[in-house]
Structure 1
Amino acid sequence: MDRDFVLFIYTNKTSSLIRMASIQSGLTTKINLEVSFRRSKKAFNDLEDHSKENLELFVEENFVNEEDTLLQYVPDDWSPFEPKDIIKSFNNYPEYSGFISEINNRMKSLCRKIDEDVLLNQQLYSLIYLPNPVIIPGGRFKEIYYWDSYWIIKGLLVCGMNTTVKGILENFLYMVKLFGHVPNGGRTYYIGRSQPPLLILMVKDYMDQTQDYDFVKENISILRNEFEYWVNKHLVLVEDDRGEMRKLFRFIDEDSTPRPESYFEDFDLVSSLELLPEKQKDLFRQLRTAAETGWDFSTRWYIDENGTNEGELKDTKADQILPILSMEILEAIDAILWNPSSGIWFDYDFMNKKSRNYFYPSNLTPLFLISDITSKIIDQSKIESALNYILEMDNEEIHPGGLPSSLIPSPQHGHVSYDATDPKSTGHGGEYLVQIGFGWTNGVLIGKKYYELNSRMKKIKNSLLSFPSDIDLII
């Protein structure tokens, strides 16, 4: 079967496939069922009655369950451990022993290896074959995801799983060689978009722990290719206050169809609005772009008719907002995004040519990038001002669970499974169910606690050069 038909199955806009997507909760459950034989196209064309029952039968007869291709796998470098076995910092903190051991166990439970049949018959699968085991987020997310892996790797390195980390990095480098960039996730329908470009930082974290400089030397050209992809596709020019043109980056997915992984949700939203065809296409494009940000969905990407972030999901304009990205552009970030009246960096509204004066934890991103080189660009007074800004926002009485993802109440925040106002409860809304032990939150928690308890890293953390503490819990 040719891949065109596989993509047809995943992206066809007929009402019958929308109804097919509704057969059971979550479109991703159905979309990731793999095509099982070469006559599926004829079988679909011969399907005259598009009732729910017939569509269920069609799926059952023509697809195989994805669990047959994503195999449970125990990493070679995983082992059960007491924290003292690997992390000396925990010796004096026995109360964290069970906590860390439990997260370590969840790392194992989320490991998968892709069956070789996907490599031999790629045309039959939406899954992208990867040569090494992966750590998946879990729940409905059964494949590897780009920026999730940045946080997952933080935890894996603390657990001493250097070999697994190297394998994940090799998977991403393999994708860059295939597609010119790292896709949003490990499915063919994600190839058209990426996610925050953190591969270089992942390699740096691995190198810092292992001193495997040969690995970096061998793959530096591939890392350069990924950076060039972002330069070629995502670079925009913005004029600063002195009339100089500055280079910044934005997220953008140019496809104007519903996201295959959330086809029903996108179709349902757009069809509920009275929009002209071009406006419908633009909203589909904006929803896709929001998914590329990794921060989907959030008021951060809203621009309503008044130019504010107080809109709804239909007001998503993700490709018109220039975020504070972790790239070699700190001078431009400082020139365009620094807001002297508020004493912090803000995203930039490219459509209305103005600063977006709204609180999000990402406003602190430049502090995460500070080094001996970048400290010459961002002076100490701005660092102190930004720290004061975040301290003012960190109101424990209002948000006992930590910094919220936004001060605008909205069901669209990316981390709806956690409520900053009530940390003992779960959140609500969003496109997927609450689960225990999500892949990247595992990595954040174990990495955060390790650096907090490591006396050597405390000094670095206090100068804002370490793994982020408050910023990492983007809730």
Structure 2
Amino acid sequence: MHDTTKGIIENFSSLVATLGYIPNSGNLQLTRRSQPPLFPHMVWEYTKSTGIYDRKWFESMETEMKFWETNRSISFDNHQLFVYRTLSNCPRPENFLGDYNMGMRTPNPSSVWRAISSACESGWDFSSRWMDQNSTADLSSIHTDRIIPVDLNTIIANNYRYMASYSDHFGLFDKSARYREKFEKLKEAIQSVLWDEGAGAWFDYDLTTQKKNLNFYPSNVYPLLIPGFETHADRVADYMKVSGALNYTGGIPSSLLAHSTQQWDYPNVWAPNQHFLVQSFLSSNNSFLRDIARRQMESFIDTVHNGLYNPMKGFDEGIWEKYDGRSRIGAPGRGGEYVAQEGFGWTNGAVLDFIWILNQYQERSDRSQPVQLNNTQQSSLIYAVVGFCVLLAIIMVFKGIIRPKSMQQLDEAGALLLGDEDDQDEL
């Protein structure tokens, strides 16, 4: 897998060198919108696993982050934060007629088309996160580029941290200090703008309504991935207990808005959300959240396994991009602009990582688990040890090592072998 990962990183690095960012797709028609900026995260995970630092990759990280700082940052409440905001203001090439007709029914078609494209940039295309909460049936109310997302800012904050570590490795200590300063400032901005003290979690901020979107989304807990925010773990645990998101056996849905018809909403469970959720909970020191992480990994593995090997009657077997979280039967998710896609790489990747994590937990548990004996086993062990010592003493007598004058001395020889200090003194 290291070779495969290296090849993927090399390809992405080449794209960044060519375009300045990683586009939504490798074909030309989708190069006006980016992917979420996870390249530094990918490189850092590879480096942690292999110990390999590549200067070219570091330069690509810097190039991509400059793109986001120049084209996707905003100033709000004396903080710099990041939004999804593409340059495209026309219908998507892959759905041109549908976007065109829908946009032309709105007062400002170009704004709607840009917001649609920006939602595609987020990966959550489409979700009630980007819309008026009471109007999710179509995309006419979408305004992605007017929303400060929790997950995007969490990703970029940690990117600065990874880049500071890379700078240290190459002896670029002034640069490292600048990245650490950017990390601290963005961390402060996330806490100031997106944290809600009453709810105990972080929420997207809507610049149009000037309010936080207090609906549940998995991204509400992602800042636990930021070092220092584990101090909020107890509050987040309380939030999860009352959120209603833990009531589903097939995983944690992408939202709890049952009226939405968008595919990144209820009841769909998506692998990247599950992966980020698990990593967020494992980053905390809260036993409840860590237990949720374990149960969610097991649940998602079961769901994917059943969808592939034990599909419900009427469903094809397969590994799906999204699942119906209301059960573990492995039924594909619903909603959106197209039928559920089969064979998605991120589902495979999340399951493989979950299996690896659970295996690591089991190995640590096996190593740390003391041997437990019941009363019968303890008595049997004691009798066996005493019997062995007596037998050994008898052998020693016959060998002439010990010459007892009586059976009492034979018992004392056995006591000597058992290590009784008082008996040693008598002998």
State the TM-score, normalizing by the size of structure 2.
Answer: 0.61
Counterpart contact for 1:303–1:311, Cα < 8 Å: no
The answer to which structure, 1 or 2, has the higher relative contact order (CA under 8 A, 6+ apart) is: 1
Q: 1:323 aligns with which of 149, 152, 170?
A: 149
1:453 aligned partner: 359
* 1:420 correspondence with 2:325: yes
Query: 1:172 aligned to 5, 9, 12, which one?
Result: 12
Q: Is the 8 A contact 2:103 2:110 kept in 1?
A: no
What is the match of residue 347 of structure 2? 441
Match of 2:100 among 261, 267, 270: 267
Alignment counterpart, residue 40 of structure 2, candidates 164, 176, 200:
200
What secondary structure sits across from 1:315 in the alignment? coil
Alignment partner of 1:387 out of 208, 214, 237: 237
Name the counterpart of 1:407. Answer: 256
Residue by residue over 1:96-128, the C-alpha shift from the partner in whole angstroms, topping out at 9 and shown as x without a partner, is xxxxxxxxxxxxxxxxxxxxxxxxxxxxxxxxx
**TM-fit CA distance, 1:401:** 1.3
| Distance change >3 Å, CA 201–CA 395, structure 1 → 2 | closer
Matched, 1:283 2:125: no
Distance in 1 (alpha carbons) for counterparts of 2:230 and 2:350: 28
- Corresponding position: 1:345 with 2:202: yes
Does the residue aligned with 2:74 lie in a helix, a strand or coil?
A: strand
Displacement of 1:445 after TM fit?
1.2
Cα distance per residue 1:189-237 (max 9 Å; x no partner): 1211102100000001111111112x2x332122111101000001111
State whether residues 245 and 256 of structure 2, in contact with CA within 8 Å, keep that contact through their aligned partners in structure 1: no
1:190 aligns with 2:16: no
Letter aligned with residue 16 of structure 2: V
- Residue 347 of structure 1 aligns with an amino acid whose one-letter code is D
SS at match of 1:236: strand
Q: Deviations over 1:343-392 (max 9, x none)?
A: 100011112222111110001111123xxxx31xx362x22111221233
Gaps of 5+ in 2: 158-185, 269-321, 366-427
Match of 2:87 in 1: 254
Is the CA contact (8 Å cut-off) linking 1:347 and 1:356 kept in structure 2?
A: yes
How far off is 1:309 after superposition? 7.0
Identity %: 33
The letter for the 1-side match of 2:143 is K
Residue 303 (str. 1) matches residue 139 (str. 2):
no
Tell me the equivalent position of 2:68. Answer: 230
SS of the equivalent of 2:80 reads: strand
Deviation, 1:399, is 1.9
**Helix, strand or coil at the partner of 1:256:** coil
Match of 2:12, SS? helix
2:164 matches 1:335: no
For 2:141, give the aligned amino acid.
D
Distance in 1 (CA, whole Å) between partners of 2:191 and 2:204 is 11
Q: Which of 195-204 and 407-416 deviates more? A: 407-416
Shift in Å at residue 457 of structure 1? 9.2
What are structure 1's unaligned runs of at least 5 residues? Answer: 1-160, 240-244, 460-475
- Structure 2 partner of 1:34: none
The higher radius of gyration belongs to: 2
How far the C-alpha of 1:322 sits from its partner, in A, is 0.3
* Residue aligned with 1:454, SS: helix
- Aligned counterparts of 1:267 and 1:330: Cα–Cα separation in 2: 39
**221, 227, 232: which one aligns with 2:59:** 221
Give me the whole-angstrom Cα distance separating, in 1, the residues matched to 2:135 and 2:192: 23
Q: Quick one: which amino acid aligns to residue 166 of structure 1?
A: K
Please give the secondary structure, in 2, of the residue aligned with 1:314: coil
Preserved contact between residue 137 and residue 262 of structure 2 (Cα < 8 Å)? no
Q: Tell me: CA distance 1:427–1:270, structure 2 relative to 1, closer, same or farther (3 Å).
A: same
Q: What TM-score do you get using the length of structure 1 for normalisation?
A: 0.55
Residue aligned with 1:183, SS:
coil
**For the structure 1 residues 456 and 248, does the alpha-carbon distance in structure 2 shift closer, same or farther, using more than 3 Å as the test?**
farther
Shift of residue 394, structure 1, vs aligned partner: 5.0
RMSD: 2.2
User: Distance between the aligned counterparts of 1:188 and 1:321, measured in 2?
Assistant: 27
Q: Secondary structure at the match of 2:81?
A: strand
